[in-house]
Amino acid sequence: MTKQDLKKRWENYWYYYKVHTIVFGFVILVMAIMISQCAKKVEPDCKVVLFTHKNVPSEVVAAMEQELEKFAGDYNGDGKITVEVVDCSYNPNNPNKNIMIAQLSKLQGELGLSESILFITDIQGFKYLDEQGLFETKDLFPDLDGKGFNLKNTPFDEAVNKAVPGFFTEDYYILKRTADRANEEKIRQSEEMLIKLVNAYSQ
């Protein structure tokens, strides 16, 4: 086959399959980016769901994560302690209801996975989830009839206020969900972190 024949074949191919080739190349590129991001993603040692009836700034979420990491352990053995706060909060007065739907969908996803054992909620968030029978009663907890520990006026609250002064004006709580015992290791790790936090803040 001559160079002229190859050139003609390439020109014909490009004419008829140009769009297909570009689309295929784009798909490959997107897949490569997604695989790269998954490979680089840090698997947290512990996940905590945040559910309040107000929008929460990213600075507050970051401050919560840093404070919670003081009480967690290197459960995944990667040499680092990482806590991820999964923010499912929303403002019910926001006229954009799509945000509320998206956040509630995220919340339902976390409830379905049963990987997040600990929750941080305001009183409205607590009532919403407690109606579903989500939370355990524990002797460790002095608030909400034994279902929660009030984080207001604790070092946790100080960390939040340092990020965004006066963000939480009302009480908010850390709670433990009733979880599938099949997830025994996650439950043990979360309880260990919770006991350390409550003991430290109760002194």
Fold of 46-202: D-Maltodextrin-Binding Protein; domain 2 (3.40.190)
How much is the pLDDT for 37?
A: 46
How much is the pLDDT for 38?
A: 42
Of the candidates 47, 48, 51, which has an alpha carbon nearest to the alpha carbon of residue 126? 51
Under 8 Å between Cβ of 92 and 100: yes
Q: Write out the E strands in the chain.
A: 46-51, 83-87, 118-122, 148-150, 172-176
Torsion over CA: 58, 62, 64, 65 (sign):
positive
Share of the chain above pLDDT 90, in %: 61
Task: Output the pTM of the full model.
Answer: 0.78
Domain boundaries, the chain: 1-41, 46-202
**Is 126 in a helix, a strand, or coil?**
helix
pLDDT in tens, 6-22: 556 656 655 555 555 56
Rounded average pLDDT over 84-98:
91
Residue 77 has pLDDT above 50, yes or no: yes
